[in-house]
Structure 1
Amino acid sequence: MKSVNYRLLFSKSIFLGIFFLNIVFAQAQNEKKYIKEGDAAAASGDSKTALNQYLQAYKLNQTNASLNYKIGVQYLKSEYPHKCLSYFESAYKLDPKVDKDILFNLGVAYQENHRFDEAADYFTKYRATLDPSNPFLKKIDRRLYECANGKEFMEKPVDVKIQSVSSVVNSPYSDFAPVISADEKVMIFTSRRPGSTGGSFDENGQYYEDIYISKKIAGQWGAPQNIGSNINTEFHDASIALSADGSELFIYKDDNAGDIYYCKQRADGSWSKPLPIEGSVNSRTYRENAAAVSPDGNTLFFASNREGGYGKLDLYMVKMNDKGFWGKPINLGPTINTEVDDESPFMDFDGMTLYFSSRAHKGMGGLDIFKTYYDSTKGDWTEPINMGYPINSADDDINFVLSGDGGHGYYASAKDDGVGEKDIYMISMPPREDRTKLIEKMKAMHLDAPIADVVPAPTVAAVLLPITIKGVVKDAETGKPMQTVVQLTDENGKLIAEKNVGPDGLYSFTVKNEAATSYTLSTEKEEFGFINKTFSVPGEKTSSQEITQNLALKKLAVGNVYVLRNIYFDFDKATLKSASNKELNNLLQLLKQNPEMEIEISGHTDSKGSDEYNRVLSRKRAQAVVNWLVSKGISKNRLKFEGYGESRPLASNDDELEGRELNRRTEFKILKK
């Protein structure tokens, strides 16, 4: 019988114990890091980044009650609020006192998932915890009313069919606010897809909204085209209404507090430059964000939060006078307008039925779509009628439009089976008794009746090959390969993949994206700086594509300068955008890990503008970065800032892509280590 070496077994047990403890410790540290980054993003209003960071932490620990609750809260703010339920349920199960509002949020979660009895139960429990004088009771009672309505509507659903308009129209990004001509030959909508005018990101890290147009040929919607730089700008541009014949487009711009513009289609198919609507429709200090025009073009309906209304956003109408100018706006009155939001109007082709969205009336949650009729004998609108389920849901239902014959409705929604974050859907409506009259009216206006959609014949799709992103991580000074970890994130900050790089420094990722998009490679190493390198990747093709992105890490040493490439500011301002958070947080962590380090933040511009203007702007931007770091707990004594304007270019300013873009940058220099 062989003797047992207990000393060896004991040593192995100790080794394995320490090994697994190290793994647990590392996971705990990473979990804290992700949560901290998520908290910072949430505090700055960047819900997408916050959710992505929390989900990364969740992969490491699913039993953290607070983390589950935070994920639920961020899902409520997303395009998919119904996904919050499982996280709120877990949070409550792990710790019933995880947050004072857990009962309320569980009610909201069940309501979003159309489980109205359970929602009402949690709302009732939460209500019992409130003081009788608490003003929040009114909100709870509204929720209970919505649950009762939702249950009623779902028991008697409307006979409609809802389907995606087409994978040709919808993209992997947000597509919404569709408007159509009465004959359904033209659809104009808003999208956040790549290829936007200017190609820039907003404060939430998404492409600025652009307007696109699609035309129906032989019953099929064609590939959307950007409507053009004559209408689209570098910032937000959104479609809100289209005349019955498709020749006049109304759009929303962020000017003032939000204004309505219009443009007309020329004989050659091009569009005129958008102009603000004349008269008193737009106000200087209030928001006008939605519009609809009557079939004859003589009455405009719009939403505004101006003074003198009944609540927040109210609906107004204005008529065109004999001279072709819009008259004085008239509030549609308390039958329609309430103390909350009433918006998104659309006038039926019959000229008497108004559709709109409201957070009040007999709704089932969020904004619901209603219809009301103008009673000419009483000179007033009838009591609004809910369009019913499944047209309406417990989430926001908005931007509803209808074809001239009433056969098809269109709106946008975020559904689990969608192509992107929001997709455009077509609703096949119940038959209307007045359809013949509507078609006759269309013919009188020289408009064709909508034709039935043609189901395209099945085709053999071309095989698109994935794209390889590869490179090597090197020491910037010696050129030697480095062993580290490289992360790949998408344009929304979501982690796509993570690779442990071996001694040869080589890494590679495989990605699939139908359309052109951008990715960011990130890596860092102790005693070295960090890199967040953002670059564009074309769409997939039938041939293989390889993109090489080498990464060079520079050692942390006094006098060394490091470029912060992903620091973004509002145009011509020193206001930091939330898309800068990842780069800023990396710099913050570097300073916390090196408590003796002192740095100078420097701002640099290209050669556009005067020398003095560029110097002042670059200094203000450098100061904004310093202020952000100080707000996160870094001592002012460790930070200096300076603006060098255009005086220290990295490349020639003669070329936009390789020159000016490189010269517009923020840097930090180590003064003390």
Structure 2
Amino acid sequence: MESTNYRSFIFKILFFAYLLLSLSYITQAQNEKRYIKDGDAAKAAGDNPTALRLYLEAYKLNKTNASLNNKIGIQYIKSDYPHKCLSFFESAYKLDPKVDPDILFNLGVANQENLRFAEAIDFYTQFRATLPSSSPLLKKVDRRLYECANGIEFMAKPVDVKIESVGKVLNSTSPDFAPVISADEKVMIFTSRRPGSTGGLLDETGQYYEDIYISKKVNGQWGTPQNIGANINTDGHDASIALSADGSELFIYKDDGSGDIYYCKERPDGSWSKPLPIEGSVNSRSSYENAAAVSPDGNTLFFASNREGGYGGLDLYMVKMNDKGFWGKPVNLGPVINTEEDDEGPFMDFDGMTLYFSSRAHKGMGGYDIFKTYYDSTRSEWTDPINMGYPINTADNDIYFVLSGDGSHGYYASAKDDGVGEKDIYMISMPPREDKQALIAKMKAMNLDVQPVVTTPDPLPVPVVATAMLPITIKGVIKDADTGLPIVTSIQLTDANGELVAVVQANDKGMYSFVVHNAAATQYTLSAEKDGYGFVNKTFNVPGQTSSAQEITQNLALKKLAVGNIYVLRNIYFDFDKATLKQASNKELNNLLQLLEKNPGMQIEISGHTDSKGSDEYNRVLSKRRAQAVVNWLVSKGISKDRLSYEGYGETRPLASNDDEEDGRELNRRTEFKIIKQ
């Protein structure tokens, strides 16, 4: 009797647990459907940020919904972070290859946004094969294929520039963009959606209206930005678009119906006059004028407009000031510059001859690219636009570029993963210019300050040896770590500063080769990845050029993604004797983040390892803290804690003998990840 009662009791408990579990699943499914339904409504209303937020809430409840993954990917394409769409489109396609008639095209876009041009070409080609010969999409796909081919070309020969944030003094956690500067870089005016805007109102997207801010440089440092004042900023949107060379005349964009250009001047006391519409025929009632640039002498204005009579979309126009101080009749810059797509974001170089602008056409990599063209006064025509190259240009929208008077620094805004806000302002250290001294002389003639030029004394005479500095060849083979079979994929070479040097494609035998010119003694990193495999970043030293040819062989091995497999994260760096991640770890960490985003069902264990220096317990605790630091970084980037675990093994799992003071101990000091679930 007691046994029967016990069984009955257990049955009731199990039934009750089953009932609770079922109710939980039902509630979760209902919440998922509600989020998706609300997201669809927001999308239909044109509120893409809200739609994305709601879809992501639904995704937390169910990551295996192919349609939902596809919806999230589409919304990311429309956002300021289009590169984040990749993992969602890949998941959607993996769950249901027929989830969307455009899924192959969207996968092409996703790979293009992530600079994976070879993969993008593959998906675009597959999608193109599904289209009838009469499809209007053929032109769009062919343009994308052209952009990807350009991307491969530009990334193989990157421009020698350095791009870095202007810092948290200027950038905020809100979007900061459209920077304009005086020629001497003493004044920066930009647009921001930070709290404290004039009127304090939010628009339909839930963000503060755009206001204009100003910062001045003192002793080489940017000062805290100040709202430029109620004379200029209103309760609505106000955006900076151009600044005169001396920083005294500001051009702004106001959405006053059709969208027009206004100007205002700085008063002797530092305040600004009330904005007035540009005189003459610059603004038009039936068209949209949204961007401007003024020549160094202030006598020529360049602007963008979609007025009738153009070549398509937004075109660039030029207008000159007459002898009476009034703007004359605008002139279209012509078909060499303007295309059937949008051409805008003009900026006139301090040399008065070089025009920078952004275009969706010409020889671009995707979205807007920044180009430059020269005015040939002997022929009275503009030269063919030249792409500014990678990494100034990417597959995303690169627009509203401005340059210092001496050509040393460019500025623009971009939404990058390392930014503090949705958009941040970045400075580009430009390559040296042959006309720099002429530009400096021109600045001095206009009573503009010139940034100090650091010079070094002439070296003592040394014997001249007639030798030729030969380039260095870096070559190797990339194979499957388990089978030894060759892998065909792209390989990146970056320098010690993390700047991309070149990208090459391994051949069908897995062989690759880079030729590096003008190489100084430094470190380089080879990076490779392929779908279905763990990534690899291999750092090695290069001795620099010599008078004899050098070849450095670096073979790479990729290990397939499988439960139980362990992958070494070689380029994770910590401060000495601490668990604080160094900035040099970012590339490795971002690769791991991307891997987890592409494989939303994957669960991993992060493990820390040390050499034999120190006590066993100290090494175990330190290695565990370092593993936890990696997990914390991943969680801060949106990876669920449920997918991550960590452990510290100290010195208990060496890869080599700790008796080897350098190589052995270096191999043993490492971070790894192990796939627990795939």
TM-score, reference length from structure 1: 0.67
The code of the aligned residue for 1:318 comes to V
* Residue of structure 1 in register with 2:412 after alignment: 411
The code of the aligned residue for 2:141 comes to I
Equivalent pairs, count: 453
- What is the alpha-carbon distance in structure 2 between the residues aligned to residue 389 and residue 450 of structure 1? 27
* Residue of structure 1 in register with 2:443 after alignment: 442
- What is the alpha-carbon distance in structure 1 between the residues aligned to residue 3 and residue 24 of structure 2? 34
The code of the aligned residue for 1:421 comes to E
* Residue of structure 1 in register with 2:41 after alignment: 40
- What is the alpha-carbon distance in structure 1 between the residues aligned to residue 451 and residue 59 of structure 2? 50
List alignment gaps of at least 5 residues for structure 2. 455-678
* Aligned counterparts, 1:333-352, within 5 A: 333-352=334-353
- What is the alpha-carbon distance in structure 2 between the residues aligned to residue 394 and residue 4 of structure 1? 70
- What is the alpha-carbon distance in structure 2 between the residues aligned to residue 139 and residue 119 of structure 1? 14
* Residue of structure 2 in register with 1:192 after alignment: 193
Residue 182, structure 1, aligned to residue 183, structure 2: yes
* Residue of structure 2 in register with 1:278 after alignment: 279
- What is the alpha-carbon distance in structure 1 between the residues aligned to residue 452 and residue 424 of structure 2? 23
Give the SS at the match of 2:155. Answer: helix
- What is the alpha-carbon distance in structure 2 between the residues aligned to residue 256 and residue 81 of structure 1? 29
* Residue of structure 2 in register with 1:246 after alignment: 247
The code of the aligned residue for 2:439 comes to L
* Residue of structure 2 in register with 1:57 after alignment: 58
* Residue of structure 2 in register with 1:353 after alignment: 354
Deviation at 1:451, TM superposition (A): 4.2
The code of the aligned residue for 2:293 comes to A
- What is the alpha-carbon distance in structure 1 between the residues aligned to residue 128 and residue 209 of structure 2? 41
Deviation at 1:5, TM superposition (A): 3.0
The code of the aligned residue for 2:11 comes to F
- What is the alpha-carbon distance in structure 2 between the residues aligned to residue 286 and residue 20 of structure 1? 60
Deviation at 1:203, TM superposition (A): 2.0
Deviation at 1:125, TM superposition (A): 0.9
Deviation at 1:240, TM superposition (A): 0.2
Deviation at 1:198, TM superposition (A): 0.6
Q: For the Cα contact (< 8 Å) 1:157–1:389, is it kept in 2? A: yes
Q: For the Cα contact (< 8 Å) 1:219–1:452, is it kept in 2? A: no
* Residue of structure 1 in register with 2:96 after alignment: 95
Give the SS at the match of 1:391. Answer: coil
- What is the alpha-carbon distance in structure 1 between the residues aligned to residue 255 and residue 443 of structure 2? 34
Q: For the Cα contact (< 8 Å) 1:193–1:207, is it kept in 2? A: yes
Give the SS at the match of 2:345. Answer: strand
Deviation at 1:3, TM superposition (A): 8.5
The code of the aligned residue for 2:435 comes to D
Give the SS at the match of 1:151. Answer: helix
The code of the aligned residue for 1:319 comes to K
- What is the alpha-carbon distance in structure 2 between the residues aligned to residue 13 and residue 452 of structure 1? 79
- What is the alpha-carbon distance in structure 1 between the residues aligned to residue 452 and residue 164 of structure 2? 17
Give the SS at the match of 1:409. Answer: strand
* Residue of structure 2 in register with 1:564 after alignment: none
- What is the alpha-carbon distance in structure 2 between the residues aligned to residue 3 and residue 37 of structure 1? 51
1:12 to 1:318, Cα distance in 2 relative to 1, 3 A:
same
List alignment gaps of at least 5 residues for structure 1. 454-673
Give the SS at the match of 1:211. Answer: strand
- What is the alpha-carbon distance in structure 1 between the residues aligned to residue 53 and residue 308 of structure 2? 40
- What is the alpha-carbon distance in structure 2 between the residues aligned to residue 166 and residue 440 of structure 1? 30
Deviation at 1:146, TM superposition (A): 0.1
Give the SS at the match of 1:150. Answer: helix
* Aligned counterparts, 1:202-217, within 5 A: 202-217=203-218
The code of the aligned residue for 2:255 comes to D
Deviation at 1:2, TM superposition (A): 8.1
**Superimposed CA distance per residue, residues 318-372 of structure 1 (whole angstroms, 9 cap, x where no aligned partner):** 0000000000000000000000000000000000000000000000000000000
- What is the alpha-carbon distance in structure 1 between the residues aligned to residue 123 and residue 451 of structure 2? 47
Q: For the Cα contact (< 8 Å) 1:166–1:221, is it kept in 2? A: no
Deviation at 1:377, TM superposition (A): 1.0
* Residue of structure 2 in register with 1:318 after alignment: 319
- What is the alpha-carbon distance in structure 1 between the residues aligned to residue 208 and residue 152 of structure 2? 38
- What is the alpha-carbon distance in structure 2 between the residues aligned to residue 178 and residue 344 of structure 1? 12
* Residue of structure 2 in register with 1:366 after alignment: 367
Deviation at 1:100, TM superposition (A): 1.0
- What is the alpha-carbon distance in structure 2 between the residues aligned to residue 276 and residue 291 of structure 1? 13
* Residue of structure 1 in register with 2:384 after alignment: 383
The code of the aligned residue for 1:369 comes to I
Q: For the Cα contact (< 8 Å) 1:170–1:424, is it kept in 2? A: yes
Q: For the Cα contact (< 8 Å) 1:256–1:285, is it kept in 2? A: no
Give the SS at the match of 1:5. Answer: helix
- What is the alpha-carbon distance in structure 2 between the residues aligned to residue 292 and residue 450 of structure 1? 23
Give the SS at the match of 1:54. Answer: helix
Deviation at 1:151, TM superposition (A): 0.6
The code of the aligned residue for 2:388 comes to M
- What is the alpha-carbon distance in structure 1 between the residues aligned to residue 162 and residue 327 of structure 2? 38
* Residue of structure 1 in register with 2:431 after alignment: 430
- What is the alpha-carbon distance in structure 1 between the residues aligned to residue 137 and residue 329 of structure 2? 37
The code of the aligned residue for 1:168 comes to V
- What is the alpha-carbon distance in structure 1 between the residues aligned to residue 451 and residue 146 of structure 2? 39
- What is the alpha-carbon distance in structure 2 between the residues aligned to residue 450 and residue 90 of structure 1? 51
Q: For the Cα contact (< 8 Å) 1:184–1:403, is it kept in 2? A: yes
**Superimposed CA distance per residue, residues 591-634 of structure 1 (whole angstroms, 9 cap, x where no aligned partner):** xxxxxxxxxxxxxxxxxxxxxxxxxxxxxxxxxxxxxxxxxxxx
* Residue of structure 1 in register with 2:566 after alignment: none
Deviation at 1:452, TM superposition (A): 7.3
**Superimposed CA distance per residue, residues 161-195 of structure 1 (whole angstroms, 9 cap, x where no aligned partner):** 00001111000010000000000000000001111
* Residue of structure 1 in register with 2:21 after alignment: 20
* Residue of structure 2 in register with 1:327 after alignment: 328
- What is the alpha-carbon distance in structure 2 between the residues aligned to residue 452 and residue 49 of structure 1? 49
- What is the alpha-carbon distance in structure 2 between the residues aligned to residue 286 and residue 394 of structure 1? 29
- What is the alpha-carbon distance in structure 2 between the residues aligned to residue 451 and residue 35 of structure 1? 57
* Residue of structure 1 in register with 2:657 after alignment: none
The code of the aligned residue for 2:181 comes to I
Percent same amino acid among aligned pairs?
77
**Superimposed CA distance per residue, residues 5-44 of structure 1 (whole angstroms, 9 cap, x where no aligned partner):** 3222222221111111011111111111111111111110
